[in-house]
Amino acid sequence: MSAHISVRDLPRVRDVALTLASHGFGELARILGIETATSASDKPFAMRARLALADLGTTYIKLGQVLSVRPDILPKALLDELATLQDNAPTVPFDQVKATLETELGRPVDEVFKSFDPVPLASASIAQVHGATLIDGAEVAVKVQRPGIETTLQSDLHILYTLARLVEGQVRVPGLYTPVEIVQEFEQAIATELDFLQEARAAARFRANHEGITGVTIPLIHREYCTRRVLVMERIHGQKLNDVESGSAAGREAMRKFIESWYFQLFEHGFFHGDPHPGNIMVLGTGHICFLDFGLTGTLTGEMQDVMTNIFAGLVFRDAEMVAMAVYRAGATAERVDLKAFRGEIERLMAKYHGSSLSDLSTRGSLTEFIEVATRFRIQLPREFAVVARAGSIVDGIAKRLLPNDDIVEEVRPWAQRLVQRRFGPERVSADAIRVFQQAQAAFRDLPTQANQFLLDLERGRVSVTARDPDSEALRLEIRHAAVRISLALCALALSVSGTMMVATWAPELWGVPIWPFVGFLTNLVALGMFFGLVMHWLFAARIHPREWWRRLGAVFRFFFGGRSS
> In the chain, what's the furthest Cα-to-Cα distance?
109
DSSP code of residue 231:
E
DSSP category for residue 241: G
Q: CA 410, CA 357: separation in Å to the nearest integer? A: 10
| Residues 314, 206, 66, 183, CA torsion sign | positive
Q: If we measure between CA atoms, which residue out of 413, 410, 327 comes closest to residue 376?
A: 327
| 46, 81 Cβ separation under 8 angstroms | yes
Specify which residues 125 forms β-bridges with: none
Are the beta carbons of 77 and 46 closer than 8 angstroms?
Answer: yes
* Residue 265 per-residue DSSP state: I
Evaluate whether 129 touches 142 at the Cβ level (below 8 Å). yes
Q: N- to C-terminal Cα distance for the chain?
A: 9
Dihedral angle sign, alpha carbons of residues 482, 485, 487, 493: negative
Q: How far apart are CA 517 and CA 505, in angstroms?
A: 6
What is the rounded distance in angstroms from the CA atom of residue 520 to the CA atom of residue 511?
18
Measured in whole angstroms, the distance separating CA 245 from the mean position of its chain's CA atoms is 34
Number of helices (H) and strands (E) in the chain: give both, helices first: 20, 15
Residue in 156, 275, 293, 306 annotated catalytic: 275
Please indicate whether residue 275 is annotated as part of the active site.
yes
In the three-class reduction of DSSP (H, G, I as helix; E, B as strand; rest coil), residue 425 is classed as: coil
How deeply is 104 buried, as exposed, middle or buried, from its count of CB atoms within 10 A (0-12, 13-18, 19+)?
A: middle
Contact predicate 419/312, CB 8 Å = yes
Three-state DSSP string of 279-293: HHEEECCCCCEEECC
> Would you give the DSSP letter of residue 225?
G
Q: What b/e sequence results for 107-144 when a residue is b if at least 16 CB atoms lie within 10 Å of its CB, and e otherwise?
A: eeeeebbeebeeebeebbbbbbbbbbebeeeeebbbbb
Strand partners of residue 35 = none
| Residue ranges of E strands in 127-190 | 127-134, 139-145
H or E stretch including 248?
none
Active-site residue set: 275
